[in-house]
Amino acid sequence: MAMMSSMDGGSNVVKVAAVVDAENPAVGPPPCAVDSDDLSQRANWLRAAVLGANDGLVSTASLMLGVGAVKADARAMVISGFAGLLAGACSMAIGEFVSVCTQRDVELARLDRGAEEEKALPSPVQAAAASALAFSVGALLPLLAAGFVTDYRLRIGVVAAVATATLAAFGCVGAVLGRAPVARSCARVVSGGWAAMAVTFGLMRLFKASG
């Protein structure tokens, strides 16, 4: 009898614990959801970095080719590319800073966030620095390609070739991050870069001919 009473008492404890657990479920997302959100945020940051580097590459290479279309001097091409790097990096940083600040203000106004939740929002300073750095990395590639080539025709070809190869790499990375077809993504990115460089070079060439 004592043993049965003990078993009944243990069963009652288990039942009470089960009721308490049912009435007070665990708060917070499951670990897998947290990991998924973290991976998604990292992928978004990496995608933004690739886009920033792509902008730096295309704009700087197009600027250098445009200057090269009217002036064969290597120094002029490099100086124009370096000026484009500085201007573009500052523009990207300021634009990203303003954009993230606006997004942050909207989120804070829409939700009543605590101190911990506010820390989880994106930092405008970090976003601006990352955007400027990504643009600068992309812009450095055509600068380095043109800085060590003295022959005019070869220099133009090297800048275009380096830009093409890098654009293809950016297209591959973007396709992998976005889970899109790699060949189509590469073709789209490379075609866009070629169009920008061709238009800039062609219009500046016409400007030189008319002048």
pLDDT-based confidence at residue 176 (cuts at 50, 70, 90):
confident
Q: 169-174 contacts: CB < 8 A, separation 24 or more? A: 170/50, 170/53, 170/54, 170/57, 173/46, 173/50, 174/47, 174/50, 174/51
The band of 113, judged by pLDDT with boundaries at 50, 70 and 90, is low
Mean pLDDT taken over the chain: 79
Query: For residue 154, what pLDDT is reported?
Result: 92
Comparing CA positions, the residue from 131, 129, 134, 107 lying closest to residue 120 is: 107
CA 140, chain centre distance (Å): 17
pLDDT of 164 strictly over 50: yes
Sole residue written with tokens 């886009």: 51
**How far apart (Å, rounded) are the C-alpha atoms in residues 23 and 74?**
75
pLDDT tens digits, 121-137: 778 888 888 889 999 99
The average pLDDT across 24-28 equals 49
Q: Which helix (H) or strand (E) holds 126?
A: helix 124-147
Of 61, 56, 59, nearest to 77 (Cα)?
A: 61
- Is the pTM value of this prediction over 0.75? no
